[in-house]
Chain A
Amino acid sequence: MGTHMVILGSGTAGTMTANRLQRTYDERDFRITVVDQDDDHVYQPGLLFVPFGLAQPHHLVRSRPQQLNTVVDYKQARIERVDLNGRTVYLGGGIRVSYDVLVVATGARLLPEETEGLTGPGWGENVFTFYDLPGAVGLRHALERFDGGRVVVDVADLPLKCPVAPLEFAFLADWYFQQRGIRDKVQLAYATPLDAAFTKPVAAKALGGLLADKGIELVTEFTLGEVDGPGGRLASYDEREVPFDLAVVVPLHGGAEYVGRSEGLGDELDFVPVDPHTLQHPEHPEVFAIGDASGLPASKAGSVAHFEGEVLVHNIGRFLAGQPLDASFDGHANCFVETGFHKALLIDFNYDTEPLPGHFPGPLGLPLLKESHANHLGKLAFEWLYWHSLLPGRELPGIGSAMPERGKRRAHA
Chain B
Amino acid sequence: MPTATYDGTPVPVDDEGFFTDPGRWTEPMAEQIAKELGIDTLTDRHWTVIRFMRIQYVEKGTGPTVRVLGKTSGVSVKELYQLFPKGPAKTAAKIAGIPKPRGCI
Are B105 and A194 neighbours in the complex by a CB distance under 8 Å? yes
- The listed residue (B72, B81, B87, B105) touching A268 by CB distance below 8 A is B72
- Tell me whether A195 and B67 are in contact in the complex, defined as CB-CB below 8 angstroms, given that A237-B78, A237-B81, A268-B72 are known contacts: no
Are A157 and B87 neighbours in the complex by a CB distance under 8 Å? no
- Tell me whether A237 and B77 are in contact in the complex, defined as CB-CB below 8 angstroms, given that A157-B67, A252-B67 are known contacts: yes
CB neighbors of B among A179-213 (8 A) = 194-195, 199
- Tell me whether A158 and B78 are in contact in the complex, defined as CB-CB below 8 angstroms, given that A194-B105, A221-B87, A268-B72 are known contacts: no
Contacts A/B (CB < 8 Å), 12 sampled: A158-B67, A194-B105, A195-B105, A225-B77, A225-B81, A238-B85, A238-B87, A239-B81, A268-B68, A268-B71, A269-B67, A269-B68
Kindly state whether residue A44 has any CB partner on chain B within 8 Å.
no
Contact size range, A: 10 to 19
Expressed in whole angstroms, the Cα–Cα distance for A359 and B2 within the complex equals: 38
Kindly state whether residue B103 has any CB partner on chain A within 8 Å.
yes
Closest residue of chain A to B68 (Cβ to Cβ) is A268
Q: How many A-B residue pairs have CB under 8 A?
A: 33
User: What number of B residues sit within 8 Å (CB to CB) of A?
Assistant: 17
Contacts of A223 in B (CB 8 A): 66
Kindly state whether residue B35 has any CB partner on chain A within 8 Å.
no
User: Smallest Cβ distance from A269 to chain B, in angstroms?
Assistant: 7
Contacts of B103 in A (CB 8 A): 158, 297
Contacts of A269 in B (CB 8 A): 67-68, 71
Expressed in whole angstroms, the Cα–Cα distance for A195 and B71 within the complex equals: 23
User: Smallest Cβ distance from A95 to chain B, in angstroms?
Assistant: 31
Which A residues are closer than 8 A to B by beta carbons? 157-158, 194-195, 199, 221, 223, 225, 237-239, 252, 268-269, 297
Contacts of A252 in B (CB 8 A): 67
Closest residue of chain A to B89 (Cβ to Cβ) is A223
Expressed in whole angstroms, the Cα–Cα distance for A162 and B55 within the complex equals: 32
Kindly state whether residue B65 has any CB partner on chain A within 8 Å.
yes
User: Smallest Cβ distance from A371 to chain B, in angstroms?
Assistant: 24
Kindly state whether residue B102 has any CB partner on chain A within 8 Å.
yes
